[in-house]
Amino acid sequence: MARLCFPVLVQLVLLIAGVAGGPWQEFLRPQSDVDNDVVGTRWAVLIAGSKGFENYRHQADVCHAYQILKKGGLKDENIVVFMYDDIANNSANPRPGVIINHPNGSDVYAGVPKDYTGNDVNVNNFLAVLLGDKSALTGGSGKVVDSSQDDHIFVYYTDHGGPGVLGMPTLGESLFASDLVATLEKKHAAGTYRSLVFYVESCESGSMFEGLLPANISIYATTASNATEDSWATYCPGGGQGEAPPPEFMTCLGDLYSVSWMEDSDAHNLRNESFELQYDNVRNRTLSWSHVMQYGDLGLNAQTLDLFMGSSDPANHSATVGSTDNLLMQLSSAVHVHQRDADLLYFWHKYRRSSDGMSEEARKELLGVMAHRSRVDKGIERIGGILFGTEAGPQFLTAVRPTGWPLVDDWDCLKSMVRAFEEQCGLLGQYGMKHTRAFANMCNAGVGPIAMPNLASKACAASTPPSF
């Protein structure tokens, strides 16, 4: 009878420990999880891939993420930050030198390392940092992920994106999914990490890994949306009490997926929450707007957050994000805006609030953004019409491949297509990245990049910039 009772007693103790918390949890946890620094080092790469005050939220997201990691015990020497750094001291910032990521939040900008700013936020430097390749850097602090086989790496990327692509602040430069995954595979082949977790905030962010990220290289990724849908900005002007930013702000303060995982991290003891639980929490919060996804080695989602983010008491975060008592309620009812429309919202509010002397300039700014969108859309539409006819063109260019397939078979073709189009029609920009699926579908149908200059020339010649 004693043998039968012993397992029951153990289960009872475990249950009590799990509910009650306190020292029992540390006693019962395997020693390797109590102090994860015993084996390996935690590294982090944080990148905001945009610039401009209309994109305030991306740098606010990155600054908030830094504060979480810093309070978790990560050292600055192990955290690499990419941000254009044109927000905190921007003339449009109603709180000079301060960035917030929550309507009731305080400054998240203080203390953030400026490793790569301005034009040093680029694809080459980002991939070189991941690989730990100092020789490939061009500018910046020179800090890289100089990791070893026992280390754990956390990467967080927030920006605009499109099918198979993530943005960068330098116009005309983008990070393609094939290059990102190839870099991750190279990192694995070098044997310079034990496990890596990658969080991505952008429209169609699932397409960065769908059909591409292997499940056997110890990398776990989650994304703000699947391969075909937008992600969302949040804490935007126009929301109700507790939802909108302070009235002096004309821009969104955060992104829905991003503030979901960060506020979840703020509200929990990171030693007690797994990536799987955080994934479920974030997915449930964002389900009405986008479908949060996970890719790669799903076995890694059983790891606790502290293995990558460090461990800290949730109470320590109250000054950063405000009260956490009503986070779920606030987030579920907050005003959300498509990532690609958040800039329009900013320019619209800027125009509405402008004084008589500035109203014409603000009006031109707003109309310029709208005109660019129209020119890109019409150029792509005309190319589809030339290739497949006006009826079938739109359907062909927006067709989605089956789940589990990569966006395109020939990524070099896709890159060449985009470059050729931009040479004739102008840069796609953060809005136009949504059309990379159209170029991918052309490549998949056998339309080569050689044909694009002539197609784009015909399509865009009819599009003339409007006069304001």
Query: Which residue among the candidates 203, 236, 425, 460 is catalytic per the annotation?
Result: 203
> Which residue in the list 160, 317, 349, 435 is annotated as catalytic?
160
Distances 259 to 61, 95, 144, 452 between C-alpha atoms, Å: 7, 20, 26, 40
Nearest CA to 281 among 300, 297, 305? 305
Q: What is the DSSP letter of 116?
A: B
For the question of residue 160 being annotated catalytic, the response is yes
Residue 102 is classified by DSSP as S
Dist. CA 313–CA 317, nearest whole Å: 8
Burial degree of 53 (CB within 10 A; 0-12, 13-18, 19+): middle
CB 133 within 8 A of CB 124: no
Q: Known catalytic residue: 435?
A: no
Quick check: 198 and 294 in contact, CB under 8 A? Answer: no
Query: Which residue shows structure tokens 């479920």?
Result: 280
Q: Which residues are bridge partners to 202 per DSSP? A: none
Length of the chain: 468
Beta strands 152-158 and 42-48: pairing type?
Answer: parallel
The set of catalytic residues is 160, 203
